[in-house]
Amino acid sequence: MAMTSNAMEKNSNSMLNASVKVAIVTETYPPEVNGVASTIARFIKGLSEMGHDITLIRPRQGLKDKPKNESLFKEILTLGVPIPGYSSLRMGLPQKNKLLKQWASDRPSLVHIVTEGPLGWSALEAAKKLNIPICSDFRTNFDAYSTHYGMSFLKNPIQRYLRYFHNHSNFTMVPTQELKNQLLSNGFERLRVLARGVDTKLFNPSKRCQELRNHWGVKDHENVVLCVGRLASEKNLNVTVETFKAMLQVNPNLKMVWVGDGPEKGALKLSCPNSIFTGVKRGEALASHYASGDIFLFSSLSETFGNVTIEAMASGLAVLAYDYAAARQFIDHGANGFLANPNEVNSFVAAGLELIKGDVNLENLRVQARQTTLEISWEQVTKKLENNYHDLILNSHSKDKLASSPVLREIFIKQ
């Protein structure tokens, strides 16, 4: 018995140090601009650097899109169609037979499903049929989004579908404890918290650009209010506009800069004075736009996390957000940012007015915001994802052995 137990422990340690062959399935990926795409790209980069073998399955993004084929990273491109209301994003079409054929001949250690669309569903069905371990991500509140597009009647059916989808994976990763608690209360099972990181080298106060501020028409000692993200109704942008207008009454020299694009851009141009619209920015340009601002307003209540919150903090901005998702996790009200109560209608506007009062040390907020994010590295978060992968594989091996061996079942019961 003892020898068998030692052999099992040795085998477990060997698995924990081994390279993992992962199939990652997602319906969004850069150059598409959204939090899910940027997060999974960052994870893939980190996992490849750790020596893991990654195959990415995603929809083709245009005729010129060619799959990569590198030593530890290759892509399989599938058919996709534009998502209604999100013409710049694509939804994968069902590909169960293709995935069954692919994974039967080139079996991955596990399948990681990032999105729950038709491609994600195909991956779930194929992996289940081939008995491949599955983990999934809950990254987007699609049930909440339905109310912003005149389809509130779909909220409950979408939630039922998401619950069924995720409860058929071995476990589901969520970005915050708050979201985990919410999903558990709605019948979701086997949830694990995996936070997100931020690139503090890219998003850095040192990227502040005086030339850019001059281009915006900002004079010395004047403040820029920034909003970064998709300009769409689910982002609750009317609250941002209302807050900026109130702040403008106190300080007429404020400038509002919108970084991003979307269906609400036209309406925002009409409703928000003193505004500058830069369009979508990426990489160094995005980092420079962040760092060249002073105050960041983020009034969304539809996020599972909100990457822009910690990107703005890392860039040295004074952030105002609802006490929700990433803001709840990382902002200490009055110390490194400001929080508004999501259950009080006027709380966001009131917090915005408080933020620009003379007795608030804006510079200290910005310094402390940056300091907070230095503890959230992508390296640490990716290591936790790697640990989740090893745990999934180890548990799957253990269950297979337990099912076939009465001796091992006895050992595990005694442990």
Q: What is the pLDDT along the chain (415 residues), one digit of tens a residue?
A: 444 445 444 454 555 567 899 999 999 999 988 888 999 999 999 999 999 999 999 999 888 899 999 989 999 999 988 766 655 667 789 999 999 999 999 999 999 999 999 999 999 999 999 999 999 999 775 444 444 444 554 667 888 999 999 999 999 999 989 899 999 999 999 999 998 899 999 999 999 999 999 999 999 889 999 999 999 988 999 999 999 999 999 999 999 999 999 999 999 999 998 899 999 999 999 999 999 999 999 999 988 899 999 999 999 999 999 999 999 999 999 999 999 999 998 999 999 999 998 789 999 999 999 999 998 889 989 999 999 999 999 998 766 654 554 544 444 344 3
- Structure tokens that stand for 88 in this block: 């710049």
- Structure tokens that stand for 96 in this block: 């169960």
d(CA 109, CA 130) in angstroms, rounded, equals 11
Q: Indicate left, alpha or beta for 167 from its phi (over 0: left) and psi (-120 to 50: alpha).
A: alpha
Q: Which residue has the tokens 């991003």?
A: 260
Q: Which residue has the tokens 């169609």?
A: 81
List the CATH code of the domain at 205-373: 3.40.50.2000
Cis ω before 31 (30° cut-off from 0): yes
Q: Which sequence spans correspond to the domains of the chain?
A: 8-197+377-414, 205-373
- Structure tokens that stand for 220 in this block: 């010395």
Q: Are strands 255-259 and 275-279 parallel, antiparallel or unpaired?
A: parallel
In the beta sheet, which residues pair with residue 81? 91
Q: Are strands 255-259 and 110-113 parallel, antiparallel or unpaired?
A: unpaired
Handedness of CA 64, 124, 307, 374 (dihedral sign): negative
d(CA 360, CA 379) in angstroms, rounded, equals 34
Counting other chains too, the contacts that 11-19 makes at CB distance below 8 Å and 24 or more residues apart are 12/394, 15/390, 15/393, 15/394, 15/397, 16/390, 16/394, 19/51, 19/52, 19/53
d(CA 331, CA 312) in angstroms, rounded, equals 12
One-letter identity of residue 361: N
Topology agreement, domain 8-197+377-414 and domain 205-373:
yes
At the fourth CATH level, which superfamily is domain 8-197+377-414? Glycogen Phosphorylase B; (3.40.50.2000)
d(CA 334, CA 369) in angstroms, rounded, equals 11
Dihedral, 310, 312, 317, 322 alpha carbons, nearest 10: -60
Q: Is 361 helix (H, G, I), strand (E, B) or coil?
A: coil
